[in-house]
Amino acid sequence: MVPSFHNADKPTHRRVMVVGLLFCLAFVTISFSLRPFPESGQVLVKADRLVRTAGELHKAN
């Protein structure tokens, strides 16, 4: 039988899977923390508009 990773012993398989998961988690964490956040105030403008018009009655079409 040809040796492969799938028929290796369970502790080795589990250890390799945990190390791979940790590398993946570290990559996602680092890439998310280094991502530049947009400085546009578009969300703030929309929220401000909603707050200013909250008490007004609008005509139905």
User: Where do the structural domains in the chain lie, given as residue ranges?
Assistant: 10-52
* pLDDT of 10: 82
Q: What is the mean pLDDT of residues 5-12?
A: 73
Contact residues for 7 (Cβ-Cβ < 8 A; gap 6+): 1
- Nearest CA-CA partner of 32 in 20, 24, 41, 40: 24
DSSP-derived 3-state class of residue 55: coil
Structure tokens at 37: 């956040």
Per-residue pLDDT tens over the stretch 13-57: 889 899 999 999 999 999 988 877 666 656 666 666 666 666 666
Q: How many CB atoms neighbour CB 13 within 10 A?
A: 13
pTM beyond cutoff 0.75:
no
